[in-house]
Amino acid sequence: MAALRAAKQALRKEMKRRVAALSDEEKRRQSRVVSQKLFRHPKYVSSKRIALFLSMNDEVLTEEIVKDAFKWGKSCFIPRYESTCSHMDMLQLASLQDMETLPLTAWNIRQPAEDDNSREEALAAGGLDLILMPGLGFDQMGKRLGRGKGFYDTYLERCIRHPKGKPYTIALAFREQLCREIPVDDNDVLIDEVLYEDDE
């Protein structure tokens, strides 16, 4: 276990270094390419209930995706992380204006406030069709390197127990976040697909 933890830590450092070397313009360019691929993706097109993340500066930008999802009348859910443990809920976002007025956390992410209990949690109702996944690194076999808190792995376990079952999962990545292989353990839930700018 210690060896695996050390391997993950070293890889997290390397991934952060790779993404930090990208210019803002390059991040925006790759984010546009990835977004366009997503908009054509049959799973995205057919999904009614989508969980997506509001991006940090080392992640594929998701604002255009949020706009597109609302344009097509999809229900959007965003994470609320609990900083003291690995618990995360996916809470409904009402509109673009709603997104812009959310409070900022210590991590500089917009998310619903701890005492905001007015929003629907995705699994309390109809479940989810699709989860767009963030991460620091990914490989072609669906292995994902998160930030080490286990938020998404824990949430996917909850999804699996929901009557609707596990939603389709798509990771959004910069090319620089692709790895040959990510070290994982039994708690790491595999993702279905990684979208990134390839040479198609």
Question: What CATH number is associated with residue 152?
Answer: 3.40.50.10420
Residue 11 is labelled as binding a ligand: yes
Residue 54 is labelled as binding a ligand: yes
Beta carbons of 137 and 182 less than 8 angstroms apart:
yes
Share of the chain above pLDDT 70, in %: 99
- pLDDT of 168 over the 80 cut: yes
Residue 166 is labelled as binding a ligand: no
Rounded Cα distance between 137 and 7, Å, is: 13
Residue 10 is labelled as binding a ligand: yes
Residue 102 is labelled as binding a ligand: no
Residue 73 is labelled as binding a ligand: no
Q: Report the number of distinct structural domains present in the chain.
A: 1
Residue 145 is labelled as binding a ligand: yes
pLDDT tens profile 33-72: 999 999 999 999 999 999 999 998 899 999 999 999 999 9
Residue 8 is labelled as binding a ligand: yes
Give me the residues paired with residue 96 across strands: none
Residue 69 is labelled as binding a ligand: no
pTM: 0.94
Q: 200 lies in a domain?
A: no
Residue 21 is labelled as binding a ligand: no
- Whole-number pLDDT of residue 200: 58
Residue 77 is labelled as binding a ligand: no
Segments forming the whole domain that contains residue 131: 2-195
